[in-house]
Amino acid sequence: MRLYIVDDAAVMRAAIGHVASSLGHAVVGEAASLEDALVGLAEIAVDAVLVDGRLPTGVRKAIRRVEGENSLISGLQVLCRAAPDARIIVIAALDETTLVARACAAGAAGALLRPVSRSGLSAALAVVRGDSTDANT
């Protein structure tokens, strides 16, 4: 599966990439911001976009520039339009159930819960493949 990772923390992008590679997936792009992700996704086809549910305020600035809105949910909607053939997976903490629910209502396929593990990433990507209906693993 071809993955694109959006997280402002380089260490998180590297960790997710390592886990994804160990599962046989290819990380074909990554970005530290939504704005960079929109540029990257315009140039490359992906199966899934894994996006940090808590990106910093720079994301809100990029959303305003692209959509005239100021929320992460709007950012997810922008990502869905930028990569219409990809499924969006939100990276969230276990206690961020409201964030995950709002993200899924905005078009995300599900969530990858922190700390990122092989089994967690495998379960989240199973949704992208259509192997499961429960993305919140």
Per-residue pLDDT tens listing for the chain (137 residues)? 999 999 999 999 999 999 999 999 999 999 998 889 989 999 999 999 999 988 764 455 555 555 444 466 777 888 888 899 999 999 998 888 888 888 888 888 999 999 999 999 999 999 888 875 444 44
**pTM (two decimals):** 0.85
The per-residue b/e assignment along 2-39, b for 16 or more CB within 10 angstroms, e otherwise, is ebbbbbbeeebbebbbebbeeeebebebbbbbbbebbe
Query: Which residue, 134, 87, 77, 136, is CA-closest to 111?
Result: 136
